[in-house]
Amino acid sequence: MSISTVTCVIPVYNGERYLGEAIESALGQTRPVDEIVVVDDGSTDGSSTVAEGYGEPVRCVRQENAGPAAASNRGIEAAGGEVIAFLDADDRWRPEKIERQLTRLETTPGLAAVFAHALNFWEAELGEEAERFRGHRITLATPGYVRGTMLVRRGAFQAVGAFDPLLDHGEVQDWILRAREADLGIELLPDVLLDRRLHRGNRSRNLRQQSREEFLRLVKRNLDRKRGQ
């Protein structure tokens, strides 16, 4: 039986439409999380009201809008768990997510972070797009080096630092690069443990060009760091 305490951090900005489903998926784990910290990143909708309506073990922290990386960092600061997991407010965990990853983390010496695979699903509003991509690779499970599959020992953040708040899209990939440079153990499980919702409001959809440009900057910054060593 696992002995680590686990905090789920959910950053949200104007996400009341799907936030309840995200929270329910975290509450419905076969290995329950010990707390859920919802970080309201300056929402102007009812996101905080949704989170506060749950009561224990869900609590809501508010801040002025600063982006998903800063909101995730605020969640880390507020978290009481020895192990921290993250979930975007429009996605859902599979029920066995925490159990499978935590078992691997606790039984593997030197392992600092565990990721898993993710599977996309379309909202009804994008039914035409879903049909168009039927059979496409985007419908298959993919390696999920994203926030929603991430399970990390708190000490890893102390060793590597938090997410870079200056990044709008690639903060997780940047953190992984820094963790690997620090020789921290990172593993990707073959299990699909995250369902990623595709809808009209996805940041990756609406800010696609900026995301590509930021990824190129991340690659260059990583190479510059290696050359400077």
Q: Write out the DSSP string of the chain.
A: -----EEEEEEESS-HHHHHHHHHHHHT-SS--SEEEEEEES-SSSHHHHHHTT-TTEEEEEE----HHHHHHHHHHH---SEEEE--TT-EE-TTHHHHHHHHHHHSTTEEEEEEEEEEEE-GGGHHHHHHTTTSGGGS-EEE-SGGG-EEEHHHHHHH----TT-SS-HHHHHHHHHHHTT-EEEEEEEEEEEEEE-TT-HHHHTHHHHHHHHHHHHHHHHHHHHH-
**pLDDT for residue 7 is more than 70:** yes
C-beta of residue 171 within 8 angstroms of C-beta of residue 163: yes
pLDDT in tens, 59-82: 999 999 999 999 999 999 999 999
Q: How confident is the model at residue 207 (pLDDT cuts 50, 70, 90)?
A: very low
pLDDT in tens, 161-171: 999 999 888 89
pLDDT in tens, 82-99: 999 999 999 999 999 999
- The lowest-confidence range among 28-37, 64-73, 140-149 is 140-149
- The lowest-confidence range among 21-30, 130-139, 151-160, 210-219 is 210-219
- Supply the mean pLDDT for the chain: 88
| pTM, full prediction | 0.86
**pLDDT for residue 214 is more than 80:** no
